[in-house]
Amino acid sequence: RLPVPKLEDTITRYLNAQKPLLNDDQFRKTEELAHHFEKGIGRELHEQLVAQDNQNKHTSYITGPWFDMYLKAREPVVLNFNAFMSFNPDPKSEYNDQLVRATNMTVSAIRFMKTFRAGLLEPEVFHLNPEKSDTEIFKKIIRFVPSSLSWFGAYMVNAYPLDMSQYFRLFNSTRLPKLNRDELYTDEKAKHLLVLRNGNFYTFDVLDRDGNMLKPSEIQAHLKYILSDNSPAAAFPLGYLSSENRDTWALLRKNLLDNGNEEALQKVDSAVFCLSLDDFPIKDFVHLSHTMLHGDGANRWYDKSFNLIITKDGTAGINFEHSWGDGVAVLRFQNEVFKDSTKAPAISPQSQPASVDSSRAVQKLDFKLNDALKAGITKAKQKFDASVEALSLNLIQFHEGGKDLLKQKKVSPDAVAQLAFQMAFFRLYNQTVATYESCSTAAFKHGRTETIRPASIHTKKCSEAFVRELSKHSTEELQKLIVECSKYHGRLTKEAAMGQGFDRHLFGLRYLALSKGIAVPDFYQDQAYARLNHNIISTSTLVSPAVQLGGFGPVVPDGFGVGYQVHDDWIGCNVSSYPTRNGKEYLQCIYKSLEDIFNVLKGKKIGS
């Protein structure tokens, strides 16, 4: 179970995170409020939270509040919450044809779903010592241990089973817009796929009445039929509505239902997943990021648990809605689909589609739109276009080193990437700001995420040395500063992964106060608390053989969204920003920071 941290630990960790962001006077005031909270109302709330947690052993203390946080948010899901991860191309280039890849990935996705529902999907396990635990012999032995004890057997060899309670929401699931708080909807009985092309909606069954998958050649035939349908693009594409403010969308949805679209919407909401087929090839990585993060708004249904997007040249990616689950579940799905569709593809470029009557099997959804709905779609499109217009995406690839070299120098690769983000911001804006790195707590029952706070007194000191005082420090001294940062970041990461951060705990206490009608304590009304939760640098990392790159929008208007990957011998970084910040300049500074850090670690003298 996810532990509720000790209140005194949470307050200490909170103050450590505030230290680099505040001057002495501000810090004294924040410290006073924090200790006052710890001794008074905070203590009462903490005891209530612990008692409540003890009465709800089937879940975690963060589950309810976290779902609420996402589902009560009224901002559009696109750019604010949905993230993307794009697939690597199929190693066999002729398999990157749009129809071939769409068929193979759809088949692999259904195979994954059926394996999961049959209870046969291999458990997700985090192996700290894979030589011992990630072996056939260990799997054979652990199979015979009753499940009440098997986790302990795994624990003995440093293997940690991860929570998989989110996985069922991958399929047949949608976030439904409702006034004030959305709902998650799942209908596991539905057997059809939703396909979008040119803003038009198509569905066809991918499972028969016994739950068996259609032959791949039939799925191929139906997709070919959709790809060759030359109906004009939708005049009023419904997809834009799923990019609206949630209350606006909830009212428009009610209008849709009242206007005789119940059956069509039911088809959309209950579909196994949404396959979006785009009619253009990808130009470059920036174009790829824009396509997967938001696309044109007409050919997506942002409320589906995920959209599998495949462009004209067979480039594939996933855009996923975030309330139902976190990156861990989506990444496992992507890894399995990539592996299965490339190693055991259902069809080849030479395969012929089955001779079936697709015109009967494929249903094109027809929505009845009145003037209010048409106006609603037009307005949604204008808002969407304006938001996307304001968004910049920029990328770099740093090829002067990666994980291998950093491990050889005994520093944490993640710590070095995070230090570069701090150093770059300091170089560009001359300050240290609130920074967020997400860390999975899936090692616990119904765990979600915890925040790592990468901006510390150590990164601040190191940034100052590299940016302002280079001439005062020897290479050895600079190396020591990097090692300090790495050690501290390693500690924060370990704490967060073990459910010992401070953000979720403080969030849970505040949520409890609000739910009991208690006035929000002064501690939460401190400007410093608000500033710490205004995350100007929001970061998330993943590395996988299936994934080319990932990204998301800034979480605040004056922020950066940083998706990054530290590979064996290179580092990739994808930055989103709005006009108040310059993402291109920030990336140039990140590149310079990485260069400086790597040179210092190699023992080279660097110039300013």
pLDDT tens digits, 513-522: 999 999 999 9
Give me the pLDDT at residue 160, please.
Answer: 86
% of the chain with per-residue pLDDT over 70: 100
| AA identity, residue 511 | Y
| Position 121, amino acid | L
Q: Which CATH number is 80-120+171-389 given?
A: 3.30.559.70
Give residue-wise pLDDT tens across range 322-362: 999 999 999 999 999 999 999 999 999 999 999 999 999 99
Note the pLDDT of residue 243. 98
What pLDDT was estimated at residue 374?
Answer: 98
Asked if 239 and 196 touch (Cβ cutoff 8 Å), the reply is yes
Q: Which residue, 347, 399, 506, 490, is CA-closest to 7?
A: 506
Catalytic residue among 222, 290, 322, 446: 322
Contact 31, 17 (CB under 8 A): no
pTM for the model:
0.97
Q: What is the pLDDT of residue 181?
A: 98
pLDDT tens, residue by residue, 453-502: 999 999 999 999 999 999 999 999 999 999 999 999 999 999 999 999 99
φ, ψ at 195 (rounded to 5°): -120, 130
Query: SS3 of 568, please?
Result: coil
Q: What is the pLDDT of residue 608?
A: 61
Mean pLDDT of 185-205: 98
Which two tokens mark 106? 């759809």
Q: Please list the residue range(s) of the chain that carry CATH number 3.30.559.10.
A: 7-68+392-602
Domain 7-68+392-602: CATH superfamily, name plus number: Chloramphenicol acetyltransferase-like domain (3.30.559.10)
Q: Residue 153 has what pLDDT? A: 83
**In the predicted model, what is the mean pLDDT of the chain?**
96
Q: pLDDT band at residue 139, thresholds of 50, 70 and 90?
A: confident
pLDDT of residue 147: 81
Q: Does residue 439 have a pLDDT over 90?
A: yes
pLDDT tens-digit series, residues 250-260: 999 999 999 99
Nearest-angstrom CA–CA distance, 262 and 488: 55
Tens-place pLDDT, residues 364-373:
999 999 999 9
Residue 66: pLDDT over 90:
yes
Statement: residue 607 has pLDDT above 80: no
pLDDT bracket for residue 142 (50, 70, 90): confident
The helix, strand and coil proportions of the chain, stated in percent and rounded to the nearest 5, come to 50, 15, 35
Q: What are phi and psi of 277, to 5 degrees?
A: -105, 110
The Cα 38–Cα 14 span in angstroms is 12
What is the pLDDT confidence band of residue 606, given thresholds at 50, 70 and 90?
A: confident
- What is the torsion angle, in degrees rounded to the nearest 10, for the CA atoms of residue 99, residue 101, residue 103 and residue 109? -150
In this prediction, residues 5-18 reach a mean pLDDT of 98
Quick check: is 322 catalytic? Answer: yes
Per-residue pLDDT for 162 more than 90?
Answer: yes
CATH 1.20.1280.180 assigned to 125-161: yes
Residue ranges of the chain assigned to CATH 1.20.1280.180: 125-161
7 pLDDT higher than 80: yes
